[in-house]
Amino acid sequence: MIYRPSSHNIKNAAHIIGLGEVVAFPTETVYGLGADAFNEQAVQKIFGLKGRPSYNPLIVHLAETDQIEEVAWFQRGSKVHETLKKLYRFWPGPLSVVLPRHPLVPDCVTGGLNTVAVRIPAHPVARDFLKACNTPIAAPSANKSSYISPTTAEHVYEEFGEKVAIIIDGGKCEVGLESTVISIVNDVPVILRPGYITREQLEDALGEVKQVSYTVPSRPESPGMLSKHYAPKTKVVLKKNIDPGNLPKKIGFISFGPAGSGEPDIPLTVRDNLSSSGDLEEVAENLYDALRKQDKMGLDLIVVDTCDKTGLGAAIMDRLTRACAD
């Protein structure tokens, strides 16, 4: 059921976490499906509900930076610690940092890796919930594996119905795309997944930062890099890749704006415009809702606009490229 984020409901949700159950909660990026990171059976329930492969690790969500050492393992003053401190400026916020893992973190959380991804989200409801839980919360996005991430409580309900007993409603997610994932376990930090916190911002904080490429093997370093992910059931194609000689009947178009601009010269059944001013922040915020909407319309094809792969555009094009993958 969907619950409003009253302090009573948040307390109740935290109590349910203590009993080893899962709770869906809002963050500024997308909705998460959370369980006590130290309770293996509870974490396994997340994998079961999502149909997520066991090798794909979960991000551990914390209320405060002083909880990091409960789940990560590094020496004070070490290079990892110094780099981590330079990233504090992005927290609370949409950044997940991959660190060496604490031995007490269960294998199922990290997919058997010797690292753990950690995030301190900024959404006030997420923070209240995490504080009330008083334990690190392992949480992937609250959707079936490889489908589009949810950006409203209703999206989560569409995915799981009553199988998730508590969905805390925090309204529409402001960022709308999954967090940036950066690994700082090696010499040069690597962006494993682009997001709202851009490469440019990370380089400003850390100096040189590498970015993994879009084409990746089927079991890569960060399983979120799988080429087919974040995808509707309907076939998706980027506008620049339309094959005019081979058009199906019912086609939807998702444009970045302004309305009517950049429309491909093909018959369209439906159009959605994500931002009347072409603002990429607005495009990111509205993208998944539009993809979900068009995916429910029985279309043969969804055509999406494109933008430059700089700044936030890198994350938008990363998700769209993977939504298009076969």
Total Cβ atoms within 10 A of residue 152: 21
Q: Are 179 and 119 in contact (CB under 8 A)?
A: yes
Q: Which of the listed partners (Mg ion, ligand AMP, none) does 93 bind, with a CB threshold of 5 to 8 Å by partner kind?
A: none
**Range in contact with ligand AMP (rule: CB under 6 A) among 113-121, 231-239, 246-254, 263-271:** 113-121
Give dist(CA 226, CA 205) in Å, integer.
Answer: 28
- Pick from 67, 83, 110, 135 the residue near ligand AMP by CB under 6 A: 110
Check binding of 113 to ligand AMP (CB under 6 A): yes
Check binding of 29 to Mg ion (CB under 5 A): no
Q: Which residue number places its CB atom closest to ligand AMP?
A: 224
Q: Which residue number places its CB atom closest to Mg ion?
A: 141
Which residues on adjacent β-strands are paired with residue 255?
273
Give dist(CA 305, CA 323) in Å, integer.
Answer: 13
The alpha-helical segments, DSSP class H, found in the chain are: 7-18, 40-50, 68-71, 79-87, 107-110, 124-133, 153-160, 199-206, 280-295, 312-324
Q: Name the residue nearer to ligand AMP (CB basis): 135 or 222.
A: 222
Looking at residues 24 to 63 of the shown chain, list those that interact with ligand AMP (rule: CB under 6 A).
Answer: 56-57, 59
The closest alpha carbon to 226, from 205, 210, 212, 206, belongs to 212
Q: Which of the listed partners (ligand AMP, Mg ion, none) does 174 bind, with a CB threshold of 5 to 8 Å by partner kind?
A: none
Sequence-ordered list of residues with C-beta below 8 angstroms from that of 210, at least 6 positions apart, any chain: 188, 189, 190, 191
Closest separation in Å from C-beta 285 to Mg ion: 17
Check binding of 291 to ligand AMP (CB under 6 A): no
What residue has token string 């911002």? 201
Q: Name the residue nearer to ligand AMP (CB basis): 80 or 251.
A: 80
- Pick from 61, 127, 193, 292 the residue near ligand AMP by CB under 6 A: 193
Give dist(CA 292, CA 249) in Å, integer.
Answer: 20
Check binding of 94 to ligand AMP (CB under 6 A): no
Q: Are 232 and 291 in contact (CB under 8 A)?
A: yes
**DSSP at 141:** B
Q: Which of the listed partners (Mg ion, ligand AMP, none) does 92 bind, with a CB threshold of 5 to 8 Å by partner kind?
A: none
Closest separation in Å from C-beta 205 to ligand AMP: 19
Sequence-ordered list of residues with C-beta below 8 angstroms from that of 47, at least 6 positions apart, any chain: 54, 108
The closest alpha carbon to 60, from 102, 9, 3, belongs to 102
- Pick from 140, 189, 194, 252 the residue near ligand AMP by CB under 6 A: 140
Residue count (the chain): 326
- Pick from 29, 39, 141, 151 the residue near Mg ion by CB under 5 A: 141
Closest separation in Å from C-beta 300 to ligand AMP: 28
Looking at residues 218 to 257 of the shown chain, list those that interact with ligand AMP (rule: CB under 6 A).
Answer: 222-224
- Site pattern 165..184 for ligand AMP (x: CB under 6 A): -------------x--x---
Give dist(CA 299, CA 293) in Å, integer.
Answer: 11
**Range in contact with ligand AMP (rule: CB under 6 A) among 74-82, 108-116, 198-206, 275-283:** 108-116
The contact set with ligand AMP (CB under 6 A) reads 56-57, 59, 96, 98, 110, 113, 115-117, 140-141, 178, 181, 192-193, 222-224
The contact set with Mg ion (CB under 5 A) reads 140-141
